[in-house]
Structure 1
Amino acid sequence: MNGHDFPDALKQLLDEFSRSGIRELHIRKPDFELYLSTEASAARPQAATPVAAPVSAPPAQSAPAAKPASAPLTPASSLPADAVIIKAPNLGTFYRAPKPGAANYVEVGSQVQVGDELCLIEVMKLFTAVRASASGTVHAVLVEDGAMVEGGQPLFALVRD
């Protein structure tokens, strides 16, 4: 890529970032650093902060207690027949809150609208927001916080109002 292509490549990256649903992106190279965030209150990472330990990653001790992806919290037989199932868009680690110590995005009984953020899926320090595809009430959370999930795995059951 020559110097004249850089602005076009950066514009394309910004456009793809805004459409992706990813909340944060941090790229660091010896001669270049880029930090993008959809959070207005996000602070730029400090140079001394190691890339392997971003502030938004949950503490390491939560991962060992996680249930395997094949063990849902609520059995499928107890879900209403008309439940809307929200599935993982890709494999990764399931997080119910935006950062450690913060309140969960939703709880059982929470009212949600189409597009409301329900959780995050993290893979290789990239976080993808999972959003409600229907309006309704959260009937069940099907995965334990910090668990590894597979693409297409059910995460939430919603009941339409």
Structure 2
Amino acid sequence: MDIKEIQSLIKFVAKSGASEVKLETDDIKITIRTGSLTGNSEPTYVHTMPMAQPAVQAPAAVPVAAEAAAPAAPATEAEDDKYITIKSPIIGTFYRKPSPDKPVFVEVGQTIGTGDVLCVIEAMKLFNDIESEVSGKIVKILVDDSSPVEFDQPLFLVDPS
């Protein structure tokens, strides 16, 4: 596993919202921990197991990526207080479209009503429509299409006014 693969794994874990991921192969063992919402970030550790050829060591580059993501969270929290957050009711994979050849359910700036389908979350090969419980205007979509989501993870910001 080279440094670029490790960096892309760190980015994927950060986007997924998972708090900890462990990956172990014959020659390398990686534990990635993301910071909490309070801004306290824990370092990411890369442990290399002995092997015939020297492995690429990247502990210096890993904490930089974790520190770069942490300062942005407190600034956006203050701005987002006036909005209603729609959260994921289940664990699964988030999809913005009902199928690849169809248009997305909602866009930023679109007005929604109670009961409108906002997205689909696939869990155990079942596709679950996620309906809005509020009326308002979509301000921000917080999750990328085809990304894994956790229970209670914020998906959308809605301006109720």
Q: TM-score range by the shorter chain?
A: 0.5 to 0.7
Q: What secondary structure, in the 3-state scheme, does the structure 1 residue paired with 2:81 have?
A: coil
**Which residue of structure 1 lines up, in the alignment, with residue 16 of structure 2?**
68
Aligned-pair CA distance for 1:68: 1.8
Which has the larger Rg?
A: 2
Is 1:111 matched up with 2:111?
yes
CA RMSD of aligned residues (A): 2.4
Q: Is the 8 A contact 1:69 1:143 kept in 2?
A: no
**Which residue of structure 2 lines up, in the alignment, with residue 99 of structure 1?**
99
Q: What secondary structure, in the 3-state scheme, does the structure 2 residue paired with 1:80 have?
A: helix
Letter in 1 for 2:98: P
**Which residue of structure 1 lines up, in the alignment, with residue 150 of structure 2?**
150
Tell me, which stretches of 5 or more residues in structure 1 are unaligned? 1-63
The 5-angstrom pairing of residues 20-59 of structure 1 reads none
Aligned-pair CA distance for 1:101: 2.5
Distance in 2 between residues matched to 1:103 and 1:78, nearest whole Å: 32
Aligned-pair CA distance for 1:116: 0.4
Q: Is the 8 A contact 1:83 1:157 kept in 2?
A: yes
**Which residue of structure 2 lines up, in the alignment, with residue 121 of structure 1?**
121
Aligned-pair CA distance for 1:123: 1.1
After superposition, give the CA deviation of every residue in 1:93-152 in whole Å (9 maximum; x if it has no partner).
000000013111001001000110000000121011111111000000010101100011
Q: What secondary structure, in the 3-state scheme, does the structure 1 residue paired with 2:77 have?
A: helix
Aligned residue pair count: 96
Distance in 2 between residues matched to 1:145 and 1:85, nearest whole Å: 18
TM-score normalized with structure 1 length: 0.54
Q: Structure 1's 115 and 79: CA in aligned 2 closer, same or farther, altered over 3 A? A: farther
Q: Is the 8 A contact 1:79 1:157 kept in 2?
A: no
Aligned-pair CA distance for 1:82: 1.9
Higher helix share: 2
Q: Which aligned segments of 4 or more residues in structure 1 are displaced greater than 6 angstroms?
A: none
Distance in 2 between residues matched to 1:144 and 1:80, nearest whole Å: 19
Aligned-pair CA distance for 1:78: 6.3
Task: Report 1 or 2 for greater relative contact order, CA contacts < 8 Å, sequence distance ≥ 6.
Answer: 1
